[in-house]
Amino acid sequence: MKRISAQTLILFITGFALCQASKTAPSLQALVPLIEQNIKNHPIYEYCSNSSPEDFFKLLAHAAPIKPSDDYRHAAPSEIIAIAAGHEHNRIAAYDVGSTGTRVTIADVNICDPNQFKVIGYLSISTPFEITHETIPHRLLLYQEIKNCIDSLYSSGTQPVFHYARATAGFRNAGELGVELAMKIRTVSGINFKVAQQEKEGWFSYESVAKTIANAPEELVVWDVGGGSIQVTTQEAGRYVTLGSSYASRSIIPIINAEVKKIKTLNEPLFPMSLGQIQQALSIVSELNVHGSYEAYTNKNSFLKNAQAAKLILDRIHNTGTVYGVGDFHHRSMRKYVAPANNHYTRAQVKALLLELADLTQTQAQDLLDGHEDPFFKYLLSDLILAYSTMQTLGISKVNTLAVDNGIGLVHLGHQKLLNTSTPHECSTQSWDGSCTAN
């Protein structure tokens, strides 16, 4: 096999990584409908919904491991098969399992050096539902099918892909059911699948930015927003420091509908809202995120819960007024509609758009912002309310947006886990070709 130069393989900036990922992402992403169809065709998908979760898990405990329902090579474009053929690299598939979807970043890594990796593929699939007894079969099959797809395309007999998954707020909010489901996914699929603590979720986003921007300072502050939680993270003396909140872009909607709009359909999108209603919603979100409570609602995590961490992060934000935003919330909603011509947005711009959207229906807002093709547009108003409230509370003037999610950070942390479990090597990292070279 022709040796590839170290310069080509070593990733120092994620701009290069994203470029590489984009070459395979559309092809791999095209297989998502097949993954979804295979799930629906599986017998377990229609398992009796009247039985208890305990009975369902007992059934799985005594059943043989779920067999992959298809070989994806026959459906894969030739360029992906060419990538898989004869590779000699160690590969990680890092799963960012969020509240609204799962994103998988596939990378070649050097098991001898945690800073050497190259992104080679990416897949995103929506999971727009909560974890309940009825959705357990779908979730269980989903990760098995994604793993099967990736193994079919990216593994070889001698170099299997290491699958590393961390689930966030969606699984945490499901309590014991989420933890039990994660354990069952791990047992059935072989994926290293765990539910991450909120603090560690901040680590993923911090490392994604630290590995993306050149010469990243330890003092950088990273703001990650998911469907069910917020993390604001920095580092101090090599240690992660995180502020968090259990309320985020989706989880604030029922509260605003109940307390501000006074409607019973709690999960309805917020359009339309008057200026007075928007101001009231901003006040409620601020109370929840800063002080941890509003009326009957409590926030088990709030920005000021850890006074020492809050002081450090607020001081760093005060010094620059700037943070880095990670994930779809910033890149899709904020950057797309608040400041489409820039790679950043400001608090003043968020406020201006909120004022502009006051009293508009969703259709009127879509006409104004050309958002009719965006399936997530219905959440824009709640996204803006969350963004402005958080920026005002923490003193954030500007957010630099990056077209990355937690996947890069998960690759890095999964890479470290692989290093810790691999046989120690004496390695020369000066000329890495994707495998470990002994001195």
Q: Between helices 407-421 and 198-210, what is the axis angle to 10°?
A: 100
Q: Which of 12-16, 235-239, 416-420 has the highest mean pLDDT?
A: 235-239
Among all chains, which residue has been given the structure tokens 């309805």?
A: 268
CB atoms within 10 A of CB 82: 10
Q: In sequence order, what are the beta bridge partners of 197?
A: none
Structure tokens at 172: 């945490």
Q: What is the pLDDT of residues 351-408, one digit of tens each?
A: 999 999 999 999 999 999 999 999 889 999 999 999 999 999 999 999 999 888 888 8
Q: What is the pLDDT of residues 241-255, one digit of tens each?
A: 999 888 888 889 999
Q: What percent of the chain has pLDDT over 70?
A: 82
Q: Is residue 309 exposed (0-12), middle (13-18) or buried (19+ Cβ within 10 Å)?
A: buried
CB atoms within 10 A of CB 140: 23
Q: Is the confidence at residue 428, as pLDDT, over 60?
A: no
Q: Is the confidence at residue 10, as pLDDT, over 80?
A: no
The gap from C-alpha 78 to its chain's centroid, in whole angstroms, comes to 28
The residue-averaged pLDDT of 255-277 equals 94
Kindly report the pTM of this predicted structure: 0.81
User: Do the Cβ atoms of 337 and 371 come closer than 8 Å?
Assistant: yes
Among all chains, which residue has been given the structure tokens 């290293």?
A: 192
Which pLDDT value is given to residue 65?
66
State how far the alpha carbon of 303 is from the alpha carbons of 19, 117, 245, 255, 323, in Å: 36, 34, 6, 19, 16
Average pLDDT, the chain: 81
First to last CA, the chain: 21
Q: Is the confidence at residue 282, as pLDDT, over 90?
A: yes
Q: Which of 13-27, 257-271, 322-336 has the highest mean pLDDT?
A: 257-271
Reported as a pLDDT band with limits 50, 70 and 90, residue 165 is: very high
Reported as a pLDDT band with limits 50, 70 and 90, residue 127 is: confident
Q: Which of 139, 49, 134 is nearest to 99 (CA)?
A: 139
Q: What is the pLDDT of residues 286-305, one digit of tens each?
A: 988 887 778 778 777 778 77
Question: Residue 254, preceding bond cis, omega within 30 degrees?
Answer: no
Strand-strand pairing, 101-109 and 90-97? antiparallel
Q: Which of 385, 399, 406 is nearest to 169 (CA)?
A: 406
Which pLDDT value is given to residue 50?
58
User: All domains of the chain, ordered by start, with CATH?
Assistant: 6-201+407-421 (3.30.420.40), 216-401 (3.30.420.150)
Range of lowest pLDDT (4-18, 25-39, 362-376): 4-18
| Dist. CA 67–CA 14, nearest whole Å | 35
Which pLDDT value is given to residue 320?
86
Which pLDDT value is given to residue 429?
43
Q: Is the confidence at residue 339, as pLDDT, over 50?
A: yes
Which pLDDT value is given to residue 435?
43
Q: Is the confidence at residue 157, as pLDDT, over 80?
A: no
Q: What percent of the chain has pLDDT over 90?
A: 35
What sign does the dihedral 370-401-230-140 (CA atoms) show?
A: positive
